[in-house]
Chain A
Amino acid sequence: MTATSTPPSTSSPYAELKAPTTARRLLTAPTTGPLAALLLACAFFSFSTDQFLTGGNFSLIVQQVMVVGTLAIGQTLIILTAGIDLSCGAVMAFGSIMIAKMAAEGSMPPLVAIAVGIAVCGGFGLLNGLLVQKIPLPPFIVTLGMLNVAFALTHIYSEEQTVTNLPGPLTALGETFPLGHTDITYGSLVTIGLFLLLAYALSSTGWGRHVYALGNSQEAARLNGIRTSRLTIGVYTVAGLLYGLAALLLISRTGVGDPQAGQTDNLDSITAVVLGGTSLFGGRGSVLGTFIGVLIVGVFRNGLQLMGVASIYQTLITGVLVILAVTVDQISRKKAR
């Protein structure tokens, strides 16, 4: 492990806001509860059903959560700044239908189509960030509007047609490679890689510490010399680019471009963030917590299905867990004061 060339931490504004020890405690504590919940759930399903505890099943769960997981990374970044993004699923759907249609209709080489699709999603993020920061408007309203815009554009552009017969590069991430007894998709690796990358960026770079500072108090961050405006717009743009990557992962998983996709993914991504212990008030949480959060949902869905329990109960349990997670967050905030 080598140190990067980030400025020494003593000059970081965050260090002046809170003592480093407190900071570290705040960054790490929220993942403990979710991890315990995940372990408990896994233990329960391992005893309840024979098929749960296999490498193949684990690989399957990661495949099933990679799309919402990648959206949830972007969602985590935005929620850390005390914002929220309701448009992520719709933006992803637009990106995926763009990539699929441009590549399948042969107007563009597949790799170019992928790049354009991801860039367009980044553009949506940039636009969200500009509206939130420059006018300024509440993130909830901006992204609610953008949800409708992206949803409508998806349906107009696709002419309600599912795009099939996609060229190879679009579905490459859905291909598998053997690992021991199981097959892992390349997409799963991409998702795990993205989680690690953003976890590193948040915990060990100046940018990451600024994001936390911004979420704790925009005013304090600004007075400490952080360019809050640029930082906010940057966070929304990075989130948009992540939605573009999620669009590619979605295509690779389903093998088609589907205009109906992602309609509940905005709420599902928020669910994952909350279950992972990130606070909706901003400034507290981590993308690794979100990774655990998204796995909790995936494990419950898969495990209950293996037990033969109807999917509506999975929805019920998810709802209860979300309320529990927010309750835990509130109690720990009260204690922290």
Chain B
Amino acid sequence: MPRTTRLSSSLLRAAAVTGVAALTLTACGSGSGSDSTGSGSGSVKVGLITKTDTNPFFVKMKEGAEKAAKENGAELSTAAGKFDGDNAGQVTALENMVAAGVKGILITPSDSKAIVPAIEKAKAKGVLVIALDTPTDPESAVDALFATDNLKAGELIGEYAKAAMKGKTAKIAALDLAPGVSVGVQRHDGFLKGFGATEKDVACAQDTGGDQAKGQTAMENCLQKEPGINVVYTINEPAALGAYTALKAKGREKDVLIVSVDGGCTGTQAVKDGKIAATSQQYPLKMAAEGVKAVVAYAKDGKKASGYTDTGVTLITDKAQDGVTSKDTAYGLENCWG
């Protein structure tokens, strides 16, 4: 019966291939089970999971963590999602780090809500989980949070812009991050609060993803919509520089006030060059270093870090305004990241 032979042989082949693939992986399977206490090696294992590998902010954060790990005799492993918002990638990294036996995980959540179930699984295995830069939703899902107060970062540039306008009627453009991302929402709301404006006063709001090219496109479109724009709030300095390029093309760069958040070195230099009026500088290295220290402390005496630690924000500008506390770009460039 050739028919039957062919059928069974193909089924056998299918079973064989699957079997070999499975065996390959389980070979000597029941090794040491999956206990997550890194045995023997002595140094504390710390994991850092950032949103992406490529954003200078996270690159800097990684450097801060590496330095702190060296100083505290800890062993750092890092991972990241493929793109900003890649929750599945972060979940996978979390699982793999728990399997690798880390004592604690530092994470900048790409999706504040979606990451929560995976964090809870890690915590159930006795791993300390700390959020950096971006809070989870709910905030209590992690043991502790080390971050910039993004609302305050927005407020500072809002107050600054208000003072710099000296009573002129403001036409505001907002170059935002992306819908529903907490960091962007908080900075935007903070700016309006500091400026004493409401959503109605925003002549044009566009999402940029914090990207320079998209920031330029957004600004070009905003100028088409409302040529009289004179204040531009931007989510970060790349978006701000995109806006500056668009304004310069229209010959408007001198009479439009651009404010931003981040305090990266390129951005701070742009403040010094007069392209950006002011920026709220944040400190990613500090976030990471504090996080690593907290994990090491937990490994030593079992004390878990808890609650929210504000890692600080400073208004950087060379055109200080009365009644708004700020530091100049010399200070900014000394403390910038990226």
Nearest-neighbor residue (CB-CB) of A197 within chain B = B14
Tell yes or no: A161 within 8 A of B by CB. yes
Query: Chain B contacts of A288 at CB under 8 A?
Result: 14, 17-18
The interface residues of chain B lying within 8 Å CB-to-CB of A254 are 87-88, 91, 114, 117-118
| B contact residues around A50 at 8 Å (CB) | 31-32
Residues of B contacting A200 in the complex (Cβ-Cβ under 8 angstroms)? 10-11, 14
**Is A56 a contact of B8 with CB atoms below 8 Å?**
no
Known: A3-B7, A196-B14. A301 touches B96 (CB 8 A): yes
**Residues from chain B with Cβ under 8 Å of A291 in the complex:** 17-18, 21
Tell me the complex Cα distance, A295–B76, Å. Answer: 26
Closest chain A residue to B138 by CB distance?
A164
Q: Across the interface, which residues of A come within 8 angstroms of B26, CB to CB? A: 55, 58
Chain A 145-169, CB within 8 Å of chain B: the 1/0 string?
A: 0000000000100001110100000
Q: Give the shortest distance, in Å, between A15 (CB) and chain B (any CB).
A: 11
Measured CB to CB, the closest approach of chain A to B129, in angstroms, equals 16
Task: Contact check, A180 vs B3: say whether CB atoms are below 8 A apart.
Answer: no
Interface flag for B290 (CB, 8 Å):
no
Chain A residue with Cβ nearest B101: A51
In whole Å, how far is A73's beta carbon from the nearest beta carbon of chain B?
A: 13
B20-A35 in contact (CB<8A): yes
Q: Which residues of the other chain, B, contact A250 by a CB distance below 8 angstroms?
A: 88
A220: Cβ under 8 A from any B Cβ: no
Interface string of B85-125 (1 = CB under 8 A from A): 11111011101110111000000001111101110000000
B77 near A299 with CB under 8 A, answer: no
Interface size on B, residues (CB 8 A): 62
Inter-subunit contact A38/B91 (CB<8 Å)? no
**In the complex, which residues of chain B have a beta carbon less than 8 angstroms from the beta carbon of A2?**
4
A160 and B180 contact, CB distance less than 8 A: yes
B30 part of interface (Cβ distance < 8 Å) = yes
| Chain B binder among A80-88, A223-231, A305-313, A325-333 | A305-313
Query: Which residue of B17, B99, B117 is within 8 Å of A256 (Cβ)?
Result: B117
Residues of A contacting B33 in the complex (Cβ-Cβ under 8 angstroms)? 54-56, 181
B214 nearest CB across to chain A (Å): 16
Q: B32–A54 contact, CB under 8 A?
A: yes
A128 contacts B by Cβ under 8 Å: no
Q: Is the CB–CB distance between A57 and B18 below 8 Å?
A: no
* Any B CB within 8 A of the CB of A323: no
B6 part of interface (Cβ distance < 8 Å): yes
Which residues of B lie under 8 Å from residue A107 when comparing CB positions?
Answer: none
CA–CA, A58 to B32, complex, Å?
A: 13
B31 touches A55 (CB 8 A): yes
Minimal Cβ-Cβ distance residue in B for A54: B31
B225 surroundings in chain A (CB, below 8 A): none
Q: B167 on the interface (CB 8 Å rule)?
A: no
B127 within 8 A of A: no
Which residue of chain B lies nearest to A28 when distances are taken between CB atoms in the complex?
A: B13
Asked if residues A180 and B80 are in contact (CB atoms below 8 Å), the reply is no
Residue of A nearest to B84 (CB): A260
Q: How far is the CB of B35 from chain A (nearest CB, A)?
A: 9
Binary interface profile of A, 196-235, with partner B (CB < 8 Å = 1, else 0)? 1001100110000000000000000000000000000000
State which residues 93-123 of A face B: CB under 8 Å.
none
CB distance from A285 to the nearest CB of B (A): 13
Q: Does B198 contact A (CB under 8 A)?
A: no
Q: Which residue of B lies closest to A258 (CB)?
A: B114
Closest chain A residue to B77, Cβ basis: A308
Is A263 part of the contact surface with B, judged by Cβ < 8 Å?
A: yes
Is A61 on the interface with B (CB-CB < 8 A)? yes
The reply to whether A51 and B99 contact each other, CB–CB distance below 8 Å, is yes
Once the chains bind, are A255 and B10 in contact (CB under 8 Å)?
no
User: How far is A315 from B83 in the complex, measured between Cα atoms in Å?
Assistant: 13
What residues on A are CB-neighbors of B304 within 8 Å?
none
- Known contacts A260-B110, A291-B18; A60 and B87 CB within 8 A of each other: no
> Least Cβ distance of A18 to chain B in Å?
15
Contacts of A19 in B (CB 8 A): none
Residues of chain A having any CB pair with chain B under 8 Å: 1-4, 8-9, 20, 28, 31, 35, 38-39, 42, 46, 49-51, 53-58, 60-64, 67, 155, 160-162, 164, 180-182, 192, 195-196, 199-200, 203-204, 250, 253-256, 258, 260-264, 288, 291-292, 295, 299, 301-302, 305-306, 308-312, 315
24 example contacts (A-B, Cβ-Cβ < 8 A) are as follows: A1-B11, A3-B3, A9-B2, A42-B25, A53-B28, A56-B99, A58-B25, A160-B180, A162-B114, A180-B30, A181-B29, A195-B18, A196-B14, A196-B18, A204-B11, A261-B88, A263-B83, A264-B83, A305-B77, A305-B93, A306-B96, A309-B77, A310-B53, A311-B53
B: residues with CB less than 8 A from A are: 1-4, 6-8, 10-11, 13-15, 17-18, 20-22, 24-34, 53, 75-80, 82-83, 85-89, 91-93, 95-97, 99-101, 110-114, 116-118, 178-180
Kindly list 10 other residue pairs between chains A and B, CB separation below 8 angstroms, not including A4-B7, A63-B95: A1-B11, A54-B33, A204-B6, A260-B85, A263-B86, A264-B83, A288-B18, A301-B92, A305-B93, A311-B79
